[in-house]
Chain A
Amino acid sequence: MNLEKVVFGFFIVMAMTLNFGFFIGEIDNPLHHHVYELYAAIVVNLIATVLKFGDRTQIGAIHLATSLVADLQLIAAAIVWVVFSGSADDSITITRVVSLSGGALVANVVSVALLLAETITLRR
């Protein structure tokens, strides 16, 4: 067992699960989506991105790309939340934020799929 692989897999899966946890629930109900969960998702996603730095393989490049997409969408969601909170109807704001995080979720799913594919093709 390789500790590096454990950490790597942990952060990638965690990024997806947190993202999913935030996304799940009624899209326009602010009670179903907690701000700390989004915050945690962003942080874990950023760490996952940094962990993917420096891999020269083709699959490594796709890994990095999916993470960058997820980061971009989650950060966009956070910005939307900060900018629109208080100014518009809360349910409209939360709808926008959750839909953005839904996009990030797809990227995270792809990332996990890549991780699984890589693991399965690994022969020894």
Chain B
Amino acid sequence: MNSILFLILRRMRAPIITVIITYTVAVIGMTLMPGHDPDGNHWQMSLFEAFYVISYTATTIGFGEVPFPYSPQQRLWMTFSIYFTVIPWFYAIGKIISLAQDPSLKQAFITSSFSRGVQQLQEPFYIVCGYGETGSLLVGALDKKGMRVVVVEMLQERINELELEDHQSAIPNLCADAKMPDTLLKAGVRHPMCGGVAALTDDDHANLAIAVAVKLMNPDLPVLARAENDETAANMLSFGTDHIINPYTLFGDHLAMEVHALGSYLLHEWLTGVPGDSLPSPACPPIGKWLVCGYGRFGKSVVENLQREGMSTMIIEADPELTGCDECIVGSGAEAHTLHEAGVTDAVGIVAGTDNDINNLSIVMTAREINPNLFVVIRKNKRFNEPLFQHFNADITMDPSDIIAHECLAHMISPLLAQFLLLARAQNNQWANQLISQLVEIVGESVPETWAATLSITEAPGVLSLLDDHVEVRLAHLLRDPSNRERAMGMVPLLLVRGNEQILLPANDTLLQAHDRLLFCGQASAKASLPLLLCNRKSLSYIIDGKEIADGWVWRWMRQHLPN
């Protein structure tokens, strides 16, 4: 703010000095001109009167000849003063107005209000660089989950979009290049409440620059970066980027998960979804021969994962030399004869994975005409084509922005969630299905809330004070309704982390210890009521033994000193 004031003052120097000088000359001249009062006596204007006259003349107000009619000499000087003072006056006003419209001043105003907004954040927040398709999805989801976000984006149009959207909490945003370390500093990279940075621009180099800059400025800050090239990813890794997100490998990974463990996949989708959304319907890819159209980064990842699952694949690629494909059928895949050549009639599934939406749609439509039973996986590149894809209704639609946003959410909601998902992936399908049915019983068919809690002195003073008094606190106690101990809250403990030990789906009678970290999943009401049990010793001890304890200085003293 200070710098803006100085900027204004500095620019206003010349106009103000011009005004002062012209006034001075005009006022002096006015006092020197001889005149006459109505009685014919010699009269000269005093300095004050002259200043008064010049003031109303220069501002073009014009009260006339005050206090007496002027002599010809005075009128002559007045004529000169009018042209002499009015022009600098307008020059000064014009300068003020042009200053108000000055782009650099406007930018200075916006930047300073942005950094003030960031400095005033009192709760943990994430910095999202790049508000494209992925960024907007992620920001919307984080906002719905009640987390604070700061957005940095290069293009003004996208910032306008962000401002038009309806968000729960204010989102400080800045239209600036996130590659500039200064921008990142303003966005709060060194802010004590900053929880992490997500570099989600569509430019790998920009993401790399952001990741490097953040790691140099604040090495402890988690960085999630999107990278589509392997070299960029390797470079990011060497700088200690915490999570590198490649949408293509991720999708391949997910597809493989869908093939061999649908339950685990669903669990993943569910826990990283936006609360309130409905559950994605499960689609189980069939086993057999698959056609893959387009052997780019996406196609390669799909082929690799399908082959690992023991499926045979047939690749259709328009430019085999560019993509480095050894064994394939040359063609775009949109023509019936190429599909026939690849053996579409005896295939069980087709993957349309080129980087052109219209081609992809055309491929799967042709293929389905030939073989209506095909399982269709289609890659969506542009978000604005969404209605076309909805209409087509493929078995699986791969949306890179959606995948990246989900992956970011998994890491941002809590580090525990990412840990849980990793462990869950190692479990078998049956385990996942069981957990899903348990969750459905509790929260119904919509995406549940997922949250973490740490039994620390700041987050759970109530639990710790009971533990200090050697009271046994079990996990089951935290799952009760604080207003009625008979009733269970709608939540499921997913993970308990104690030191290096990780307990997946901890049993209800687990004894809690200080510094345990817990991951829960369940209804929003349960999430809201849990802090009461964690913080309030009285509520928790009521849950444990059903007795309301008399808690006050006098009562405690009496209990300790008087028997019964």
Q: Which residues of A contact B (CB under 8 A)?
A: 35-36, 39, 43, 46-47, 50-51, 53-56, 78, 81-82
A50 touches B47 (CB 8 A): no
List A contacts of B28 (CB < 8 A): 36, 39
Give the residue among A46, A53, A56 with the most B Cβ atoms within 10 A: A53
* B20 beta carbon closer than 8 Å to chain A: yes
List A contacts of B12 (CB < 8 A): 50, 53
Q: Give the distance to chain A from B190, nearest Cβ to Cβ, in Å.
A: 23
Q: Can you give 19 contacting A-B residue pairs, CB < 8 Å?
A: A35-B47, A39-B24, A39-B28, A43-B21, A43-B24, A46-B20, A47-B17, A50-B12, A50-B13, A50-B20, A51-B17, A53-B6, A53-B12, A54-B6, A54-B9, A54-B10, A55-B6, A56-B2, A78-B48
Closest residue of chain A to B17 (Cβ to Cβ) is A50
The digit string for B1-29, where 1 denotes a CB below 8 A from any CB of A, is: 01100110110110011001100100110
List A contacts of B17 (CB < 8 A): 47, 50-51
List B contacts of A50 (CB < 8 A): 12-13, 16-17, 20
B13 touches A54 (CB 8 A): yes
B10 touches A36 (CB 8 A): no
List B contacts of A54 (CB < 8 A): 6-7, 9-10, 13
List A contacts of B9 (CB < 8 A): 53-54
A39 touches B6 (CB 8 A): no
| CA A50 to CA B18, docked complex, whole Å | 11
Q: Using A35-B47, A36-B47, A82-B48 as known contacts, say yes or no to A53 and B24 having CB atoms under 8 A apart.
A: no
Closest residue of chain B to A39 (Cβ to Cβ) is B47
User: SS class of chain B's interface: helix, strand, loop or mixed?
Assistant: helix
Contacting A at CB under 8 A, from B27-49, are 27-28, 46-48
- Number of residue pairs A-B, CB distance < 8 angstroms: 40
List B contacts of A82 (CB < 8 A): 48
B48 touches A47 (CB 8 A): no
The digit string for B497-528, where 1 denotes a CB below 8 A from any CB of A, is: 00000000000000000000000000000000
Q: Give the distance to chain B from A74, nearest Cβ to Cβ, in Å.
A: 13
B47 touches A47 (CB 8 A): no
List B contacts of A39 (CB < 8 A): 24, 27-28, 47
A47 touches B20 (CB 8 A): yes
| CA A42 to CA B16, docked complex, whole Å | 14
- Enumerate the 9 nearest inter-chain pairs by beta-carbon distance, A residue then B residue, closest first: A54-B10, A53-B9, A82-B48, A54-B9, A43-B24, A50-B16, A54-B6, A46-B20, A50-B17
| CA A55 to CA B12, docked complex, whole Å | 13
List A contacts of B2 (CB < 8 A): 56
| CA A39 to CA B54, docked complex, whole Å | 15
Q: Give the distance to chain B from A68, nearest Cβ to Cβ, in Å.
A: 12
| CA A50 to CA B13, docked complex, whole Å | 6
Give the residue among A35, A50, A81 with the most B Cβ atoms within 10 A: A50
List A contacts of B20 (CB < 8 A): 43, 46-47, 50
B10 touches A47 (CB 8 A): no
List B contacts of A55 (CB < 8 A): 6
A53 touches B10 (CB 8 A): yes
Q: Give the distance to chain A from B327, nearest Cβ to Cβ, in Å.
A: 69
Contacting A at CB under 8 A, from B413-451, are none
List A contacts of B3 (CB < 8 A): 56
Q: A43-B24, A54-B10, A54-B13 are in contact. List 5 more A-B contacts (CB 8 A).
A: A43-B21, A53-B12, A56-B2, A56-B3, A81-B48
Q: Give the distance to chain A from B6, nearest Cβ to Cβ, in Å.
A: 5
| CA A43 to CA B50, docked complex, whole Å | 14
Closest residue of chain A to B15 (Cβ to Cβ) is A50
List B contacts of A36 (CB < 8 A): 28, 47
Q: Give the distance to chain A from B114, nearest Cβ to Cβ, in Å.
A: 21
| CA A53 to CA B5, docked complex, whole Å | 10
Q: Give the distance to chain B from A65, nearest Cβ to Cβ, in Å.
A: 14
Q: Give the distance to chain A from B77, nearest Cβ to Cβ, in Å.
A: 17
